[in-house]
Amino acid sequence: MPETPHRSIRSYVLRQGRITPGQQHAIETLSASFCLPFNHALLDFAAVFHNTAPTVLEIGSGMGETTAHIAAAHPEQNFIALEVHSPGVGSLLQKIEKAQLTNLRVIQHDAVEVIEHMIAPTSLAGIHVFFPDPWPKKKHHKRRLLQASFVHELALRLSLGGYLHVATDWAEYAEEVLAALIAEPLLKNTVARFAPRPASRPQTKFETRGLRLGHDVFDLVFVRA
């Protein structure tokens, strides 16, 4: 499979966010058990999880609340969460330990490079991209993650019938993502345009606050055809 072009523009900025002592302790004590190092070799999901259950990838797990909730609700599936920010990684590791989740692993690295080097074609049952940074200023639109080339790479990693679920509360970005997904020949929309929020995606505190402020939330659910 040809490699994706080298990308110099990233869809995130690493900020010096404050990490709590608890999050730091979780990283120091739990990473060996639940974090996967980035490398240039394809992951063997069966070796990672010691089973052959379907695997779902989440891009940008944030503080891990939704990720841990979904993993706990679906023990019959495996989950890999990608997150670049250390406070979020530490927070998710805390949740993994508290809920004793055995079906969840974390990779702290750029999603584009993880997809390119570590995820085999047709290997994923699903991909979650919940509330990616919309980069609202026009001059920053080039930083948006879900552009045509990356959507194609995601589609290639889905198994037949596998799904891509995107959620955003930024209307203009939602329309842009919808257009990119419709244009991808490997994907098929499950509804006419935007989907109702699936019961499998819990409503986050961030989302609840946005709804209270009158923000719309857009879910897009496409499948590999």
Q: Which of 143, 158, 108 is nearest to 7 (CA)?
A: 143
Cβ atoms of 36 and 105 within 8 Å: the answer is yes
Catalytic residue among 44, 110, 133, 216: 133
Cβ atoms of 142 and 9 within 8 Å: the answer is yes
216 is catalytic: no
Question: What ranges make up the beta strands (E) of the chain?
Answer: 55-59, 78-82, 104-107, 124-130, 158-168, 187-189, 218-224
Cβ atoms of 4 and 153 within 8 Å: the answer is yes
Instruction: Name the token pair of 18.
Output: 């404050």
DSSP3 helix / strand / coil % (the chain, rounded to 5): 40, 20, 40
Q: Distance (Å, rounded) from C-alpha 80 to C-alpha 106?
A: 6
Q: Distance (Å, rounded) from C-alpha 53 to C-alpha 51?
A: 6
* Residues acting as catalytic residues: 133
